[in-house]
Amino acid sequence: MFDDGLVITAAHTVARAGQVGVTYPDGSTVAAELVALDTERDVAALTVPIVDVERPLIGTAEAGDVGQVVGGLASGSVDMTVRQYVNLSIEEVLGTERHSRLGYEIDAPTGDGDSGAGVYDPDGRLVGMVFAVSANGGSTWVTASQEIDQFVATVDRQGVPYVCNPERSRMEPQ
């Protein structure tokens, strides 16, 4: 959760979905509506029935800082150490163009399925969000919180919802 009713996740986790659901900490699942998708940053915004969650404080990190990856589907919550703050160059989700964004390389025992998990410093500030794990399990890659915060500032919660286009197998505005 990012704040009341808004969930932020990695865009690649919902880009091919026909329907999206969110599982609350108590294990219950609700339908979610995709309201914004940034394929260059690999960030998506979903809305769910309002819950009482406060927006996290935004933090930054540097090499050697510690914290936790929280809410990974594969790994749950695990300790992490920042290896380096980096300018990432990645392919657009479901595209071929490369784009740059700020991020981190961290050391954490994460695995496939942890994309979208929050990365927090010891004071509970959001440092970023997991989007990839190296094939050999040696590194986890994180989108920096500044990128997420800039994306959230553009989200219109009442905006046009996205629907799945089966011919292109990707989410598009309705």
For residues 95 and 71, state if they share a domain: yes
pTM over 0.75: yes
For residues 141 and 156, state if they share a domain: no
CA diameter of the chain: 46
Phi, psi of 148 (to 5 degrees): -65, -45
pLDDT by residue (tens digit) across 122-169? 999 999 999 988 877 678 999 999 999 988 888 866 555 555 555 555
On the CB side of 21, CA atoms within 13 Å amount to 6
Give the CATH number of the domain where residue 129 resides. 2.40.10.10
For residues 48 and 116, state if they share a domain: no
Residue 118 region by backbone torsions, left for phi larger than 0, else alpha for psi between -120 and 50, else beta: beta
Q: Residue 174: inside a domain, yes or no?
A: no
* Amino acid at residue number 90: I
Domain span holding position 127: 66-145
For residues 157 and 140, state if they share a domain: no
Q: Residue 61: inside a domain, yes or no?
A: no
